[in-house]
Amino acid sequence: MISDTFKVSQINTKNTLTKVRYMEKLTIEEIVDKIQQEEIFSAVADDYSFTIKIDNYVPYACGAVHDGHQFRRELWGNCMHTEYDRWFEEDPATKEMVQTHPIVIAGMDSRFEYDLNRAPESAIYVDAWGKQLWRNPLPETMKETSLKKHANFYKVVHALIAKLEEKFGVCVVYDMHSYNWKRWEREVPTFNLGTGNVDNERFGEMIESWRKMLSEIKLPNGIASTSKINDTFQGNGYFLKYITQHFSNTLVLATEVKKIYCDEINQIMFPEVVAAVEEALKTLVPQHADDFCKKHR
C-alpha cells in the first residue's frame, strides 16, 4: 500500500475518508472541474462513452480503454462485423480486474465505433482484422460524433494525469488490455508488458518489478502465470503514447492479459479466473505503485 507517511504528507485528508455511494452523470466540463478541485466522485460521461471514479487521490491510476462493448444503433445496419466479431476483439472484464482501485477510467463504447487506443486520425476503422467494417463509407456527421467522444475522453485523461503529477510529482498508470491467444501459433505469455514507447532506461527497474509480480499471480484451473516484456505486443497504443508525450514523470504500464479468463471462440466468460486476477491486483498494484513513488519521487 501507499505508505502511511506518504498518505499523511501528500493526500488531502478531508477527501480521504469520503466514499461515493452513487454514480453521477456529468458533462466533460464538470468532470474536469471536479478533478481540478480534487473532489471525490464517480461518474459516467453525459454521452455514456466512459466512466471514471476517484475514491481517493493517489499517485496511480488504472485504465481499461477497450473494456466497452456499446455500439450505437445508427451504425448497426452498416456494420459488416457481427456482435460476436466485435466482442472477440474487445477486452471484456479488464475494468472488472481493476475496479477496486481508487482511480479507474474505462471506455464504454466498442473500439469498432472508435478506438481510444488509436490517434484521432486512425481511430475510426475502415477495416478490422482483415475484414471490411462498413458496407458503405460512414457519413462525416457520424465520424464527428465518434471523434468528439474520443476527444472528450482525452480531455479528462489530461486533467487527471496533470492533477496527479501536480500533487505527487510522479504517477504510474496501469493500462489494462487483453489479447486473443488462440490466433498465435506459438506459446505466448499470460501477461505481456509493452514498453516500446516508455523510458526504459529511467523506469526499467520498475518495469521488471511489475513483470515479476505478474508472473507470481496464482490462477485457478491449473493456469500458469507467465510474463514477458514485448513478446506479443510492444506498447504502441495511443493511451500510453498520449500520456507519455504530455507528462514527463508518469510511467504507463501497458499490461496485456492473455484471454485465459474466457473461451474466446465460444464467448463464455470464466468469472473465477477474472476474480483471481482482480484479487491479486488488489495487493500488487498499490504495492508496486508505492515502490515506484519511493524510487522516483
Give the number of domains in the chain.
Answer: 1
First-last CA distance in the chain? 16
**What pLDDT does residue 195 have?**
98
User: Which grid coordinates belong to 248?
Assistant: 514527463
Among 256, 113, 268, 243, smallest CA distance to 188 is for 256
HEC readout, 115-139: CCCCCHHHCCCCEECCEECECCCCC
- The tens-digit pLDDT sequence of the chain (297 residues) is 444 434 423 433 334 444 546 999 999 999 999 999 999 999 999 999 999 999 999 999 999 999 999 999 999 999 999 999 999 999 999 999 999 999 999 999 999 999 999 999 999 999 999 899 999 999 999 999 999 999 999 999 999 999 999 999 999 999 999 999 988 889 999 999 999 999 999 999 999 999 999 999 999 999 999 999 999 999 999 999 999 999 999 999 999 999 999 999 999 999 999 999 999 999 999 999 999 999 998
Domain CATH code at residue 165: 3.40.630.40
**What pLDDT does residue 21 have?**
60
* 97/176 Cα distance (integer angstroms): 8
**What pLDDT does residue 147 have?**
98
**What pLDDT does residue 145 have?**
98
**What pLDDT does residue 19 have?**
53
Task: Extract the runs of DSSP E, i.e. beta strands, from 27-161.
Answer: 41-45, 50-54, 60-64, 103-107, 127-128, 131-132
Containing domain of residue 104, as a range? 4-296
**What pLDDT does residue 10 have?**
41
DSSP 113: T
| CA 189 vs CA 66, 86, 89, 147, 266: distances in Å | 20, 23, 18, 34, 21
